[in-house]
């Protein structure tokens, strides 16, 4: 049965009380007002509760269409249904343009009203749910707000909480999409610098010739087109935290300038002769093996050792399968609310497939999969496995190599044996195994799942 609070504004007491009785039988709590003034007072008092206002167009002290913007101003996320004894198309068009949910003529509205009110109330509930989820997603991040309780995640969180209260440089290591920026924000929020700026820079998102000027800024006339002084992102982060994502993309000359920032907290802008002093805490992230990159000359060893004062490994989603249900449920409800669609839960088979999937794209991939599924799935039903992408659907029965007939030389068995051999030789490094096999990483993941390796 529906629930929620409705506000009826009508100067005809008998009609107003009749409507109130009908809607109370449907499970709603009803507030009543005989005119616009009293209606606005009640709405101001109960703005957080009122889902729908049902108002007559012709009121003693106002026109309902003109009243509509004033109602919306007091409670932007509620819906308004207008009633009139003599409806006209221009009035209906004007009401809808002003934001009315519907415009009903009193002569034939009785049977429609309950249905229209239910639809309007559901829309208001979903809008409020979206606003709440947007608020949660946009609020300042903290370690306690992270979704998941797996041991791998908890270990990384504990390390983050311990280093956050210091000013030490932090290096976050982990695959793309695992949530390294979320960790960087949580470190900032738990630090003494939380009242200052958090500036995030994806080093791979800028052309290499522009990244230096974006980070350090420049003086007027430093190069063609430098028509005024420009403050760099380092200065924007002064007093706070600078997060450098994909730091392995920095060119060697830019790495040298950052080494000076870490050592002396100063740098020289392009076109300037004097150093600029800053006070920033650096958190860097990479999906590469920077130690190996430094050994092979692609990354400055001295910068690597300054960055790796405190290293945190952010776990990939495949290492925390017990967190998949909570994350999936969160994303499902978030996208259902954005789509104004009710999706109560995930069904058992859908959840099983999500937990078995290796998630090469990590949490970011899970979010995208749930957005797609929420768009395709019908409302008011648990999300079924049929709405997951093709790669999630059950493969043929797993192949047990230990029990396989040694004389079985079928293509399927030979391929499975060869993949298992390469995985053993590469010590489980699927990226290297895929390279040696000459296939894509996603294809390898699919075959590993198909053969039950």
What is the DSSP track for 246-291? TGGGS-HHHHHHHHHHHHHSEE--BT-SS-EE---EEEEEESS-HH
Question: Sign of the C-alpha dihedral, residues 303, 304, 307, 308?
Answer: negative
pLDDT digits over 69-82, tens only?
A: 888 888 888 999 98
Our CA angle for 189, 169, 210, nearest 5°, is 90
pLDDT over 70 for what percent of the chain?
A: 92
Cβ atoms of residues 48 and 24 within 8 Å: no
Residue 7 phi/psi, 5-degree rounding, is -115, 120
Question: What pLDDT band is residue 100 in, cutting at 50, 70 and 90?
Answer: confident
Question: Sign of the C-alpha dihedral, residues 380, 383, 388, 393?
Answer: negative
Residue 403: pLDDT over 60: no
Cβ contacts of 150 within 8 Å, gap of 6 or more = 315, 319, 320, 321, 322, 323
pLDDT digits over 289-303, tens only?
A: 999 999 999 999 999
Cβ contacts of 390 within 8 Å, gap of 6 or more = none
Question: What pLDDT band is residue 383 in, cutting at 50, 70 and 90?
Answer: very high
| Lowest-confidence pick of 218-227, 245-254, 397-406 | 397-406
Residue 426: pLDDT over 80: no
Map residue 94 onto helix, strand or coil: helix
pLDDT digits over 335-373, tens only?
A: 998 888 888 899 999 999 999 898 989 999 999 999 999
Residue 397: pLDDT over 50: no
pLDDT of residue 239: 94
User: Which is higher by pLDDT, 449 or 14?
Assistant: 14
pLDDT of residue 108: 62
Cβ contacts of 155 within 8 Å, gap of 6 or more = none
Cβ contacts of 30 within 8 Å, gap of 6 or more = 5, 6, 7, 8, 20, 23, 24
Pair type for strands 276-277 and 266-267: antiparallel
Average confidence (pLDDT) over 310-333: 93
Average confidence (pLDDT) over 394-413: 56
pLDDT of residue 109: 62
Average pLDDT, the chain: 86
pLDDT digits over 101-118, tens only?
A: 888 877 666 668 888 889
Residue 329: pLDDT over 90: yes
pLDDT of residue 135: 62
pLDDT of residue 373: 93
DSSP string, 305-330: HHHTTEEEEPPPGGG-GGGHHHHHHH
pLDDT of residue 415: 83
Residue 399: pLDDT over 80: no
What is the Cα 50 distance to its own chain's centre?
28
What is the spatial distance between Cα 253 and Cα 244, in angstroms, rounded to a whole number? 16
pLDDT digits over 141-182, tens only?
A: 778 888 888 999 999 999 999 999 999 999 999 998 899 999
Residue 407: pLDDT over 70: no
Question: What pLDDT band is residue 396 in, cutting at 50, 70 and 90?
Answer: very low
Q: Cα torsion for 211, 217, 219, 220, to the nearest 10°?
A: 70
| Alpha-carbon distances of 243 from 70, 137, 198, 236, 282, rounded to whole Å | 44, 19, 7, 12, 6
Residue 139: pLDDT over 60: no
pLDDT of residue 75: 87
């Amino acid at each position: 049965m529906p629930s929620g609070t409705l506000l009826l504004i009508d100067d005809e007491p008998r009609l107003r009380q009749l409507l109130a009785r009908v809607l109370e039988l449907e499970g709603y709590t009803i507030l009543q007002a005989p005119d616009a003034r009293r209606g606005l007072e009640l709405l101001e008092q109960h703005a957080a509760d009122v889902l729908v206002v049902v108002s007559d167009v012709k009121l003693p002290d106002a026109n309902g269409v003109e009243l509509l913007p004033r109602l919306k101003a007091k409670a932007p996320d509620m819906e308004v249904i207008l009633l009139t004894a003599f409806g006209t198309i221009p009035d209906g068009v004007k009401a809808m343009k002003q934001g009315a949910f519907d415009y009903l003529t009193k002569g034939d509205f009785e049977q429609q009203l309950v249905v229209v009110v239910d639809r309007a109330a559901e829309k208001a509930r979903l809008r409020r749910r979206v606003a709440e989820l947007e608020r949660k997603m946009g609020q300042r991040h903290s370690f306690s707000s992270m979704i998941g309780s797996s041991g791998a995640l908890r270990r990384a969180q504990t390390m983050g909480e311990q280093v956050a209260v210091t000013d030490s440089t932090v290096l976050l290591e982990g695959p793309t999409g695992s949530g390294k920026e979320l960790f960087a924000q949580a470190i900032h929020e738990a630090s003494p610098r939380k009242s200052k700026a958090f500036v995030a820079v994806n080093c791979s998102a800028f052309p290499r010739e522009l990244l230096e000027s974006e980070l350090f800024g420049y003086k007027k006339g430093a190069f063609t087109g430098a028509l005024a002084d420009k403050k760099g992102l380092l200065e924007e982060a002064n007093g706070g935290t600078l997060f450098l994502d994909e730091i392995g993309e920095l060119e060697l000359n830019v790495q040298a300038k950052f080494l000076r920032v870490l050592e002396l907290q100063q740098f020289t802008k392009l076109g300037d002769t004097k150093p600029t002093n800053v006070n920033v805490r650096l958190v860097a992230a990479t999906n590469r093996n920077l130690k190996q990159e430094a050994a092979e000359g692609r990354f400055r060893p001295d910068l690597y050792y300054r960055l790796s004062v405190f290293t945190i490994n952010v776990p990939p989603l495949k290492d925390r399968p017990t967190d998949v249900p909570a994350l999936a449920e969160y994303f499902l409800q978030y996208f259902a609310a954005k789509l104004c669609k009710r999706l109560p839960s995930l069904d058992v088979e859908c959840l099983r497939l999500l937990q078995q999937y290796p998630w090469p794209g990590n949490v970011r991939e899970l979010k995208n999969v749930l957005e797609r599924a929420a768009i395709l799935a019908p409302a008011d039903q648990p999300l079924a496995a049929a709405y997951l992408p093709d790669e999630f659907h059950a493969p043929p029965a797993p192949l047990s190599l230990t029990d396989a007939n040694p004389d079985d030389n079928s293509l399927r068995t030979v391929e499975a044996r060869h993949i298992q051999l390469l995985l053993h030789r590469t010590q489980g490094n699927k990226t290297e195994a895929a390279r040696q096999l000459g296939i894509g990483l996603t294809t390898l993941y699919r075959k590993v799942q198909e053969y039950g390796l």
